[in-house]
Amino acid sequence: MNIFKTKGFDTLIGKDTVIKGLMVLNGTTVIDGHFDGESIHSDQNADSKKKDTLHVNGTVCVEKVIISHDLTVCGAVTAKEVRVEGTLAVKGTAKLTADVVYYRTLVIEPGAVILAQLKHLDHVSEGEQV
């Protein structure tokens, strides 16, 4: 199993595309371009059988990234908070910068840069809101 390989997608943001605002995911989204906005999060009203997955090959600059399944970072992600309920995979070409990153499973390739406080979702301090 190659966790860094994208097998199909529902939404593609092309490499020459710049989007600003709020992004609500429903399915697999690939960002090859640039997203600058408030947050990226999974659609709470979507079909729960569909797993929201985000692949960032370009750049993302937001306050929060909240993903109900998996996040693969190959490019650059800058956020105050990142929460990944599934697997957070950081490829060797990636730079992840955040105040705090909450994850369930973490995979880091050699060469990856992570500038953040890392917290496992199963071991968050009592009273701390996630």
Band of residue 79 on the pLDDT scale cut at 50, 70, 90: very high
Supply the pLDDT for residue 53. 86
Mean pLDDT on 52-64: 90
Which letter, b or e, does each residue of 36-61 get, where b requires 16 or more Cβ atoms within 10 Å of its Cβ? eeebbbbeeeeeeebebbbbbbbbbe
Helix (H, G, I), strand (E, B) or coil at 121: helix
Break the chain into its structural domains and give their ranges.
12-121
DSSP letter, residue 122: G
- If we measure between CA atoms, which residue out of 47, 115, 40 comes closest to residue 83? 40
Supply the pLDDT for residue 10. 83
Higher pLDDT, 16 or 107: 107
Least confident of 22-26, 88-92, 122-126: 122-126
The fraction of the chain above a pLDDT of 90, given in percent, is 49
* Cα–Cα distance for residue pair 23/46, rounded to 1 Å: 14
Query: Is 10:27 a contact under the CB 8 Å cutoff?
Result: yes
